[in-house]
Structure 1
Amino acid sequence: MSILDRIKSMLRALNQPNASADSASAGDLTAVSASDDTTPSVNHTDALILVHHLDSAGNELQAPDMIAGKIGEEIHLPAVNVAGYHLVHIDGLTRWFTKPQARIVLTYERQAGQPIWVYAYDIDQRQLIGRPTMYRGQLKTPYKVTAPTVAGFKLLRSVGDLTGEYTTTSKTVLFFYRNANWQQTDLSTGFVQIKTLTAVYPYPGATTTNYLTKLQPGSTYKTYMRVRLIDKTTWYAVGDDQWIAESHVQLTTGVALLPQLPAGYRTQSKHPVQQTGVVSFVPGKRVHTYLEPYGRYLTTVPHGERVTLIERLADDNGVVWYRVKGRGYLPGRYLTQLDPPY
């Protein structure tokens, strides 16, 4: 039912002998102030009503509408449609022309604009930090976005309009942060060779770890990021949430430290399988798969997912790799509950 239909229904109710003001306004969100609606006798006296469209502060939103007629005739209101506003109050409304000059005041309120979404993003780990924030306001009113404070992180930069007006289109603002203990970062696509028995830690600078397996001297791993901390120590990422200290490794930017595989490697160590397994990494995290062993990242699989394995191979370091159907290669140490178990 349109607003005009609702108004007419309310006016009809007002003119019923037993009608009350409460029954006329029941179920309506707008407040209506109606003048005396006793049915007048129709005569030929000209009548004019001015319909004013005001905001909540009393400002005219558009030129008043004029409704002409004769005293005693029924009033036909114009279409009520002010872009960006909705009607909240009506004053002076009658069903008939009752006097030569009168006025009806329609009061409007601004509609709500679309929200401004604010995200805090860890630029190095490429993940959100905390929950998104939503700014709300009325259409065409100004907004100003401020960077959220994130414990343990420092703000680097932002992307998106920090100031502006609420519109009919949602907007997004991204704030990029870096761990407060990280002084410098860079991507590293080299390889490291382990010099001594080396523990793997969940983040740079950690002193405790849940990883029980240590990296053996002489083994080689690809690195994906290098981080220099404010305490001047340097750490290398060898996988998701897997970090080793620079003091335990020898670094090269080439492929000289790649394992030298035997000539018959592909025919002797690589063979198809028909198995399933469960990814075992860190609860709530995802582990990378590779385009080829020791190669580039391909995709990720979540901890706890059961995957289909179609190939098994081993290198001369004794590292076992499985090819996950449609997902690339995954080191065997990240798989449990193999079925069949061989």
Structure 2
Amino acid sequence: MSFLDRLKGMLHALNSTEASTETTAASTEEAAPRAITAQRADTLATNQTEALILVHHLDQAGNTLQPADMIAGTIGEEIHLPAVSIAGYHLVNIDGLTRWFTKPQASITLTYERQAGQPVWMYAYDIDRRELIGRPTMYRGKLGTPYEVSAPTVAGFKLLRSVGDVTGEYTTTSKTVLFFYRNENWQQTDLSTGFIQINHETAVYPYPGATTTNYLTKLQPGSTYKTYMRVRLVTHETWYAIGDDQWIPETHLQLTTGDQLLLKLPAGYRVQNQRPVRQTGIVSFVPGKQVHTYIEPYGRYLATVTHGDQVNLIERLADDNGVVWYCLQDQGYLPGRYLTQLDPPFA
């Protein structure tokens, strides 16, 4: 091979090596990752571009509760929502709120829920026995929404009337509705007091119209009792109450003045055997009822004590009419016939 041929071969090899090196370098440069500069999405440069946000106040149905508020600022400036209070509502959701102004125009929607109104209470009431029938019922609802209270059906009773607004709207004030009932077997009642005298031996019954009783004691002819209620049944029978759940049919009695039950004021009397005592006693009158005490024997009324009460006795006296009186601690005088279970029995 001549020298020229060898020189051409060397130059060709050199050119091939350089081309390969350049190609490799170019490939390496293309494959090398480019540097990425991280930018905080929540960091905005403040500029002088004006921005405006409308704040809408809506209820949960999308109705406008009050005119929209406008908040003005510049891009990148922090947003400050105005303090808003809408009577009868409370805020439940905010939509579209950002920390900064991000564009020239935007909107924020505040959604409010209607507050709960005060409850409406319903009571069923026995007008004659003056007691509740069953448990009270509570109605609840949003402020301004309507309500309607229905009278419950009560077994054995008939509805007479209602007191209170059975229809209306829930407000910031609670309401009460009363439904008054009467025993369906009762036609008419009279709550006035009086006295009755037994005509002939009779049992005491637990309710008007009863035919059986668990009371063992029978009332004797000639005995007199105070009555607190008279009931006329739909069967036209009339019954008298002499105590709680203690009734006598009209056919076994007659009305009287009850004078024999009242203390007779003597023209004059002398106290005999007056002495201090330290005893207790139980008031014995009519179950569930009260009896008067007196400022002094045969004097004016002072207070009342209830059948079954335990009282402290501090003085005992008798007068020349044979009436025994006891002085109750801080409660005046009471005839001894209204006291039982004295402890100790003798003082």
CA displacement, residues 199-233 of structure 1 (integer Å, 9 cap, x when unaligned): 22232223333433322211111211110112221
Q: Find the aligned partners of 1:56 and 1:175 in 2 and give their Cα distance.
A: 36
Q: Would you say 1:195 and 2:196 are equivalent positions?
A: no
Q: How many residues align?
A: 297
Q: Find the aligned partners of 1:259 and 1:269 in 2 and give their Cα distance.
A: 23
Match of 2:106 in 1: 102
Contact 1:37-1:94 within 8 A present in 2 as well = no
Shift of 1:91: 0.7
Match of 1:80 in 2: 84
CA displacement, residues 154-213 of structure 1 (integer Å, 9 cap, x when unaligned): 111111111111111111111111111111111232211111122222322233334333
Q: Would you say 1:218 and 2:222 are equivalent positions?
A: yes
Q: Would you say 1:236 and 2:240 are equivalent positions?
A: yes
Residue identity matched to 1:88: V
Q: Would you say 1:163 and 2:167 are equivalent positions?
A: yes
| TM-score after normalising by structure 1 | 0.73
Q: Secondary structure at the match of 2:241?
A: strand
- Decide which moves more: 102-111 or 216-225: 216-225
Contact 2:225-2:258 within 8 A present in 1 as well = no
Contact 2:89-2:115 within 8 A present in 1 as well = yes
Alpha-carbon distance change, 257 to 93 in structure 1, aligned in 2, over 3 angstroms:
same
Shift of 1:114: 0.6
Match of 1:287 in 2: 288
Shift of 1:56: 0.7
- Structure 2 segments unaligned to the other structure (5+ residues): 1-39, 295-300
CA displacement, residues 254-311 of structure 1 (integer Å, 9 cap, x when unaligned): 45565685958996899986433457999xxx71112269xx9x767486x6443568
Contact 2:77-2:100 within 8 A present in 1 as well = yes
Residue identity matched to 1:139: L
| TM-score after normalising by structure 2 | 0.72
Residue identity matched to 1:187: L
Alpha-carbon distance change, 237 to 54 in structure 1, aligned in 2, over 3 angstroms:
same
Task: Select 2:96's aligned residue among 89, 92, 99.
Answer: 92
Q: Find the aligned partners of 2:181 and 2:332 in 1 and give their Cα distance.
A: 31
Match of 1:227 in 2: 231
Q: Secondary structure at the match of 2:141?
A: coil
Match of 1:250 in 2: 254
Q: Find the aligned partners of 2:70 and 2:114 in 1 and give their Cα distance.
A: 24
Q: Find the aligned partners of 1:52 and 1:45 in 2 and give their Cα distance.
A: 23
Q: Would you say 1:68 and 2:69 are equivalent positions?
A: no
Q: Find the aligned partners of 1:300 and 1:217 in 2 and give their Cα distance.
A: 29
Q: Find the aligned partners of 2:242 and 2:324 in 1 and give their Cα distance.
A: 17
Q: Would you say 1:172 and 2:173 are equivalent positions?
A: no
- Decide which moves more: 260-269 or 106-115: 260-269
Shift of 1:238: 1.4
Residue identity matched to 1:52: H
Q: Find the aligned partners of 2:214 and 2:274 in 1 and give their Cα distance.
A: 31
Contact 2:292-2:305 within 8 A present in 1 as well = no
Residue identity matched to 2:290: T
Q: Find the aligned partners of 1:144 and 1:119 in 2 and give their Cα distance.
A: 14
Q: Would you say 1:53 and 2:57 are equivalent positions?
A: yes
Q: Find the aligned partners of 2:330 and 2:158 in 1 and give their Cα distance.
A: 39
Structure index of larger Rg = 2
Shift of 1:333: 9.7
Contact 2:227-2:243 within 8 A present in 1 as well = yes
Q: Secondary structure at the match of 2:251?
A: helix
> What RMSD in Å do the two structures reach over aligned CA positions?
3.8
Residue identity matched to 2:289: H
